[in-house]
Amino acid sequence: MNDPKPAHQAKARNRQSGSFLGLIVACLVLAVVIILHLVKVHQLDAQLADTQKQLADSKAETAKAQGELDKATAASTDLQQQLKSAKSQQADLQVKLDQSTAASTQLQAQLDKAKAQAVDQQAQLDKSKAQAADLQTQLSQANSGSAQLLTQLDQSKIQSMDLQSRLQKAESDLSQLQPILLKARHMPVTTSFEKAHFGRGFTLHINNLNPQPLSVDVRTDKPSSQSNVIAAGATLNMEKLDAGEKVVISSEGYEPVNLTVQ
């Protein structure tokens, strides 16, 4: 009979050999995995370094672009201000253009009016020339009759001197007649006041010195007036007059007589 112990030992050795091989294979697999992981890590590190470089470059470019953007923004703001100023200047120029156009239109109207006036003045000048020619003809005719006019003027001067002499004589006669006329216009009456008894006012006596009856109107401060005819040499009495009262005696053809009761 075979001994079972060596067989068991052989199996044990086979199992140990298989475990060792499995361990070696596992180690190899692990080594491959580690190597692959290291390779991947290296690649990731390389990619990360490249990415960081690109990020740094991108930041630099971004900063540069930001600076250029700031410059562009400042330039845009300046251009905006220039555009606003240009628009203001354009509006001002448009106003001045409109004013200039209106002034030009007004000047054109004035020029047209001046031309029309020039035409009218030319027509008036032609008419004046024709009138001047006619006046020249009349002047020639007047000159031809100047001798006759001078003769008539001399005669007129002689007549004027004669009339002047007559006028002076008439003025002298008038100055002599003036006192007579004034005396003739003086009303031919005499007046006097008499104080009434018992304080009943004053009485005015008007005496007619004319040889003919005299019509008189007597007005006082009272609203009424009296018209009377005073016979030749007679006396008219006006009673109940107050002290200080104004009396006016008038008659046609004579100067009025103004009295104050006193």
CB atoms within 10 A of CB 6: 9
Q: Is the pLDDT of residue 178 over 80?
A: no
CA distance 163 to 107: 65
Q: Is the pLDDT of residue 173 over 80?
A: no
Q: Is the pLDDT of residue 181 over 60?
A: no
Check residues 11 and 53 and name the one with the higher pLDDT: 53
Is the CA virtual torsion 67, 68, 74, 76 positive or negative? negative
CB 208 within 8 A of CB 237: no
- The pLDDT of residue 212 is 94
The arithmetic mean of pLDDT across residues 243-255, rounded, is 93
CB atoms within 10 A of CB 203: 16
Q: Is the pLDDT of residue 128 over 90?
A: no
pTM above 0.95, yes or no: no
- Return the CATH number of 185-260, one of 3.40.309.10, 3.10.450.50, 1.10.3720.10, 2.60.40.10: 2.60.40.10
Question: What secondary structure letter does DSSP report for 221?
Answer: S
Q: Which burial class, exposed, middle or buried, applies to 189 when counting CB atoms under 10 A from its CB (0-12, 13-18, 19+)?
A: buried
Going from N- to C-terminal start, the domains of the chain cover 65-139, 185-260
- Angle of the 146-185 helix axis to the 4-144 helix axis, nearest 10: 90
CB 220 within 8 A of CB 241: yes
Give pLDDT tens digits for 63-110: 998 999 999 899 889 989 998 988 989 898 899 989 988 888 998 999
Give pLDDT tens digits for 186-228: 999 999 999 877 767 899 999 999 999 999 999 988 877 788 9
